[in-house]
């Protein structure tokens, strides 16, 4: 068990232990986890924008400018004289220019940098989000621990935590709504990630409630501050325990896909009219007694 402050992302990756990014695909099946590992990882433009937003919101301009200098190209784009804007990213002029740039750096256009600034301003104007950020005196902090359920060494890089509170920041391209965020949290397996973070903090002596700040990465730059409930974290814990077991079995012959056994298939409970006002049913589905 250990806490690492002021650690770079490369130093975090070098730490021993399983993290949520590696385990998420294994929560679906051994086959899917192995396929994702073999496929490898390539950072998308949306991910790069999220990285900059995290840096600016959590660490400020000094750290962000350093990050931009080290990892991004933000000027020198080929300009179309007819539009006085950068050539399109599928044009010959653009592709020729990109081929001459540092392949380890990500191109970030001015309008995308403006989006990062706009997200930061939106959060600064959101009282609940700012209250959460102000309570988290530990920012961008890595932790390691031995999982009490699986015995495996684990690690996590936390956006923020403090006394009784843990926080993650998520950028989302969709229009925000409670139903969309709930579905997004499950589909992207954020609930599993949050459960791991909370359990890791517990093993390091911090018992916390888990909060998330969602910020829209385009259009209105809307913001939502949310408390992740007990049911979501319990399901997340079950999913990461399953993922660890699948990961440990990854060298065994793979005979089935995602669904090796027969399942029952329905539609989301909140879409079934007879159950919408049935609190007992909703609690049963969510696993809340």
Pairing mode, if any, of strands 106-107 and 138-146? unpaired
Q: In sequence order, which residues have a C-beta less than 8 Å from that of residue 112 and are 6 or more positions away?
A: 45, 49
Distance CA 289, CA 286 (A): 9
What pLDDT is attached to residue 286? 57
| Tens digit of each residue's pLDDT (9 = 90 or more) over 69-120 | 888 998 888 999 988 888 888 899 888 998 998 988 888 888 888 889 999 9
| Tens digit of each residue's pLDDT (9 = 90 or more) over 187-211 | 999 999 999 999 999 999 999 999 9
Report in angstroms the alpha-carbon separations of 222 from 115, 172, 176, 201, 274: 12, 10, 7, 29, 33
What pLDDT is attached to residue 282? 59
170 touches 113 (CB < 8 A): no
What pLDDT is attached to residue 176? 92
Distance CA 88, CA 21 (A): 32
Distance CA 95, CA 77 (A): 11
List the one residue out of 170, 163, 164, 161 whose CA is nearest residue 136: 161
What pLDDT is attached to residue 277? 64
Report residues of the chain scoring pLDDT below 70.
41-44, 254-256, 269-270, 272, 274-289
Pairing mode, if any, of strands 72-73 and 79-80? unpaired
Considering the chain, tell me which residue range(s) the CATH 3.90.320.10 domain(s) occupy: 1-39+127-253+265-289
Q: CATH for 1-39+127-253+265-289, among 3.40.640.10, 3.90.320.10, 3.30.565.10, 3.30.1380.10?
A: 3.90.320.10
Report in angstroms the alpha-carbon separations of 16 from 2, 9, 13, 106: 11, 13, 8, 27
What pLDDT is attached to residue 289? 53
What pLDDT is attached to residue 190? 95
Pairing mode, if any, of strands 209-216 and 165-172? parallel
């Amino acid at each position: 068990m250990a806490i690492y402050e002021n650690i770079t992302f490369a130093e975090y990756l070098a730490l021993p232990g399983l993290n949520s990014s590696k385990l998420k695909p294994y929560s679906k099946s051994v086959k899917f986890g192995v396929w994702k590992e073999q496929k490898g990882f390539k950072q998308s433009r949306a991910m790069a924008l999220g990285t900059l937003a995290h840096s600016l919101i959590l660490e400020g301009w000094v750290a962000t400018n350093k990050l931009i200098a080290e990892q991004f190209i933000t000027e020198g784009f080929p300009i179309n004289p007819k539009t006085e804007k950068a050539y399109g990213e599928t044009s010959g002029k653009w592709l020729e220019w990109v081929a001459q740039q540092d392949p380890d750096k990500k191109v970030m256009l001015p309008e995308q940098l403006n989006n990062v600034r706009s997200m930061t301003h939106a959060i600064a104007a959101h009282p609940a989000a700012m209250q959460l950020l102000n309570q988290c005196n530990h920012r961008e902090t890595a932790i390691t621990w031995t999982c009490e359920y699986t015995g495996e060494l684990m690690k996590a890089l936390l956006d923020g935590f403090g006394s009784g509170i843990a926080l993650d920041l998520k950028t989302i391209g969709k229009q925000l709504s409670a139903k969309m965020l709930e579905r997004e949290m499950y589909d992207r397996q954020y609930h599993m990630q949050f459960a791991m973070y909370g359990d890791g903090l517990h093993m390091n002596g911090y018992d916390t409630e888990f909060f998330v700040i969602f910020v829209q990465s385009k259009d209105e730059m809307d913001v939502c501050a949310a408390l992740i409930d007990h049911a979501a974290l319990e399901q997340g814990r079950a999913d990461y325990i399953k993922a660890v077991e699948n990961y440990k079995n990854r060298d065994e012959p793979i005979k089935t896909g995602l669904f090796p056994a027969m399942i029952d298939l329905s539609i989301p409970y909140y879409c079934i009219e007879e159950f919408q006002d049935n609190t007992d049913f909703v609690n049963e589905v969510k696993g809340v007694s």
